[in-house]
Structure 1
Amino acid sequence: MNNFDERNQRDFEENTKRLVEAMDRIGSSSDLPATIAQLSQLTGMHRNAISRRQWPMVKLKEIKNKRKALRHLQFVEKKQIDPFTILEDRLDNAKRELVYWFNKSLDNEKKIKQLEQNLQRMTQARTDYEYMLKQERQQTNELTKQLTIMRDLLS
């Protein structure tokens, strides 16, 4: 029985050491979640074995509370930004918006010029086609007159 007790004691101490190391890793890295499942993954122990001990859950709660307080502090610090910084940010946003609308205006001017050129071409083409239609009508009229004269001669 003595051997079992010694072995159990060694395992208990070894597991405690692994738990402390894993707790330190979780406490120092905000990327690792403060959960029993994470402790289980880091130590290789089963979650139930960790849950049976009370101190890991208490320590995890402390880590969670520290992280929550830190997030709250960071949020409050963000709220208390210097007014000049806020104004500079607004000025930068206004500059970006000005550049955007300036570029949009240039694009619209280019489109307008292109549309004006297209309108000139269409107007010129319309004039040319009207002239061609007028010539064709005159030619048709002349040919109709000649046809009438020919019919009169034949009849």
Structure 2
Amino acid sequence: MTLYLPEHRRTTAVEITPVRERPAPVWPRGLVATAVAAITTTLMAVIAKAAGVDFGSSVGVVPLAAFPMLTVYCSLIGIIIAEVMIRVAKMPRSTFQITMIVLTGLSLVPDVLPFFEFDLTFVGALCLTHVVAAAIVVPLIAVRMEERRGLGLPTPAHRR
């Protein structure tokens, strides 16, 4: 935008660039979602174990501590993916959600393969924890991504 001063004060044209306020980052909300998901998956594992689900496999018993640890690990990867997509994707929220659905589906593959010889009830409980963790983390991060969408991208006509 060019600003011209009144005739008697005009010396040169002054360029003014609008200043954009940088929105809050995704990671704080992602960390809260990660904590909630880790607690939830741990509680699910405790309930499953109390209900008599066998956590044993061909390589040993799966400890309860594995549930929050892996939930936190995978959620942190999701937060990093979200931060990258905000910077590189034209539609970061949709791209993130589709990517997370695919990655959640892929995370179920090792659980259902007969390599570890898990008990069928444990496979069900394990798959359920994957889906519940994703159902907690992904929407909370995606909401923040929607708020950050306006960084340099044109606003769709239906949102004006």
TM-score where L is the length of structure 1: 0.35
Give the structure with the higher percent strand: 2
Structure having the higher Rg: 1
TM-score where L is the length of structure 2: 0.34
Higher relative contact order (CA 8 A, sep 6+): 2
